Amino acid sequence: VKVVIKGRVQGVFYRNWTVDNAAELGLKGWVRNRRDGSVEALFSGSPEKVRQMENRCRSGPPDAIVTGVDVFPSSEDPGITFERKPTV
């Protein structure tokens, strides 16, 4: 799935937190900041682990204030690891 997280999610280590949590759950994909202030991520793995990650994104790291999480189906290739990508 592709996920867009809105709120105070930049400048609070959200991407690093996402990389750590995705690795813990064994997910593949990526995370990046968007110029509009949101964070975008692609999560691929077992449906249960992807749902767990979606739920974690609703809280985020301690300094984040998440106001919305939009989840979209995606057929994009997640790659072989989980990585942090440059801002888009």
Q: Which residues are catalytic?
A: 15, 33
Are residues 76 and 26 in contact, defined by beta-carbon separation less than 8 angstroms? no
Handedness of CA 87, 60, 80, 51 (dihedral sign): negative
